[in-house]
Structure 1
Amino acid sequence: MADSQKRIGLIGLSAKGSWASRSHLPYLQQTSHYKITALQNSSKASAEAAAKEYSLNEVATYDGPSDIAKDPNVDIVAVSVNVPQHYDLIRPALEAGKDVFCEWPLARNLAEAEELVQLAKNKGVKTMVGLQARQNPSILKAKEIIASGKIGKVLGTTMFGHGLIFGGTAPESLLYALPIEAGANLLTIPFGHAVDALCYVLGELKDISAALVNHYPELDLVDETYKSLGKKVKKTSHDFVSMTASLADGGGNVDVTYAPGQTRTGRDFYWEIIGSEGSLVLEGPKMGGHVQMFQPKVKLAVGQEELKEVQVEKASEFSFNVGKAWDAWAGVGLDKGYNVTTWDDAVVRHRMIEAIYRSAKKGTRENYL
């Protein structure tokens, strides 16, 4: 093993398939910067099954977060499980002085996230959060175009997306997300990833005014093929988000709307940035409301020119954005704009989400910076 190669203890790799198996694993199995040396699942048998399924020979397998945290052959603990479990899985890793990657959202709420960030700072460890839309080549291209001044002063921006989830049905795998306390919903995940990309390109926001609605307090329970199971389940999470704000640096208008389910009109993701000298459009493919996973097309119109597509590096596979984030943590690709999104960044986004909840509840304009 190369001296610079970091050893990863991965929590949440399922033999039956999971986000970790579709995004992290393809990158981690081919990179020279990292090596998976341990797995932890809810049972040792489950971890052993995953090791066998993905030919991860000679990895240690565990059923508890304290055990993988104490493994001397683990430098980084990577947490890729459902949001409500994040806090309990992260704490032992931090206590053991390990560097930690965690998916977004970092925790169920701001209080948990701030506690984890403070503990990480006390322990002097490195952190990264899975806000990988920042590594999407189309988002990086938009950031480059805005910074170049091609479209002049940003006057305003409108973003619209569908979040896939909560459109009247719920698969059994999403039952954990139905209570608002779980912190895993349309506002925190698809909207959260998209608005993080917006702020990465244009800067943070001020004077947030938000409306949140739970249009589907009851959902039809379906299996993984979306066949009805003949049962209703209750949901307290919101499924429609409308937010207006201003850019904190420059005052441009901001309008973001996220709807449940999938589009009927071919607009899964549409983001327009209007400048004094031109306009920039990012238009997503089917299911493109999850901009952290799917790559939108980038189109530019300057002056009186027609809107034209801009050539952008292609995200070659599903794990592309995640892989670029891991590369950045290894110090690779920083010259190309790829970067490490830390837990400090995550807390800023958690604060924004709390401001949105406050605004929707009280009918006030709220700030988070």
Structure 2
Amino acid sequence: MGRGADRAWMADRANGANSLSIASGHALDIFCYCVGEFRELSAQVSVQLAQWHTTDGKSVSVNAPDNVIVSGVLDNGAAASAHIATIPWVGSGWRMEVYGTEGTLSASSEEMVQYGNVSLFGAQGSGQALQPLDVPARLASAPGSVPAGAPYNVAQLYRIVGDAIHNGGDAQPDFDTAVERHRFLDLLQQSSDEGRRVVVKA
């Protein structure tokens, strides 16, 4: 099996589209939005697959990272870790698990989280199995008639931005949020390059 020839340009890190700049940006942004920002972290950014074989029979050298591993401490003192990779042919999609003193929450999608439908599960107390959870209606801003998946995600974003413009409020995420997230990704690369733990916020 090979990668589409039209994606070969992504093998070159200089082109800016790789697991660190895109997949990690999306996955870690959602992670931090849900559970909080990192206070300090250690990261490993690596290339595990040094060559791609494309569907047109060519071989392409790869220097763009395809694996990002992060572990550290959040602002609230919780331990956290994440692994983002884009090389499995039959990957398990996206999954986030949160373990607290009163129970467990799990969110998962068969696709990259910004594209697909997210399923929620939870359990309280020890010895309880995870059960499906419905998304509260107050958190669903798009009309129910919008198709599920990526269209629904985009519709929710448009509704939030539209409400902010109409009511004069703030729309999140904004440009400042994007800048902070890219600074965070730079810290992941710095930690990996220097082989040390880095402080995110002094």
| Higher relative contact order, chain-length normalized (CA < 8 Å, sep 6+) | 2
Residues in 2 aligned to 1:198 and 1:178: alpha-carbon distance in whole angstroms: 26
Aligned to 1:359: 191
- The offset of 1:340, in angstroms, is 2.8
Contact kept? 2:122, 2:132, Cα under 8 Å: yes
The correspondence for 1:181, drawn from 14, 17, 23, is 14
- 1:308 aligned partner: 131
1:199-236 Cα offsets, whole Å, 9 max, x none, are 111111121101122112211122xxxxxx12111211
1:241 pairs with 2:74: no
Runs of 4+ in structure 1 off by over 2 angstroms are: 259-264, 312-318
Q: Contact 1:212/1:238 (CA < 8 Å) preserved in 2?
A: yes
Q: How far did 1:260 drift?
A: 2.4
Measured in 1, the distance between the counterparts of 2:32 and 2:8 equals 30
**SS of corresponding position for 2:48:** coil
Query: Mind listing any 5+ residue stretches in structure 2 that lack a counterpart?
Result: none
Could you say which residue in structure 1 is the equivalent of 2:26? 193
Partners in 1 of 2:82 and 2:153 — Cα distance? Answer: 23
Q: 1:352 to 1:169 in 2, by over 3 A?
A: farther
Residue of 254, 268, 278 corresponding to 2:80 = 254
Superposed displacement of residue 173, structure 1: 2.5
**Partner residue in 2 for 1:53:** none
Of 250, 274, 284, the residue aligned with 2:99 is 274
Question: For residue 320 of structure 1, what is the aligned residue in structure 2?
Answer: 152
Query: Distance in 2 between the 1:240 and 1:296 partners?
Result: 23
The partner residue of 1:295 within 112, 117, 128 is 117
Are the aligned partners of 1:209 and 1:245 in contact in 2 as well (CA < 8 Å)?
yes
Task: Give secondary structure in 1 for the equivalent of 2:106.
Answer: strand
TM-score normalised over the length of structure 1: 0.47
Amino acid of the residue matched to residue 178 of structure 2? A
The one-letter code of the counterpart of 2:50 is: P
Aligned residues: 189
The percent identity for this pair of structures is 25
| Larger Rg over CA atoms | 1
User: Which letter does structure 1 place at the counterpart of 2:191?
Assistant: S
Could you tell me which residue of structure 2 aligns to residue 341 of structure 1? 173
* CA positional deviation for 1:263: 6.0
Q: Which amino acid aligns with 2:129?
A: E
TM-score using structure 2 length: 0.83
- Describe the shift of the 1:195–1:262 C-alpha distance in structure 2 as closer, same or farther (beyond 3 A): same
1:176 CA displacement: 2.9
Residue 172 of structure 1 corresponds to 5
Q: Matched residue of 2:57: which SS? A: strand
Structure 2 counterpart of 1:213: 46
> Could you tell me how far apart the structure 2 residues matched to 1:310 and 1:220 are?
41
Q: Which moved more, 1:341-350 or 1:171-180?
A: 171-180
- 2:6, 2:181 → 1: CA distance? 25
* Long gaps (5+) in structure 1: 1-167, 223-228
CA distance in 2, matches of 1:195, 1:203: 10
- The verdict on how the C-alpha distance between 1:169 and 1:355 changes in structure 2, with shifts beyond 3 A counting, is farther
Equivalent residue for 1:143?
none
Distance in 2, matches of 1:241 and 1:267, equals 16
Return closer, same or farther for 1:251/1:232 CA change in 2, 3 Å cut-off. same
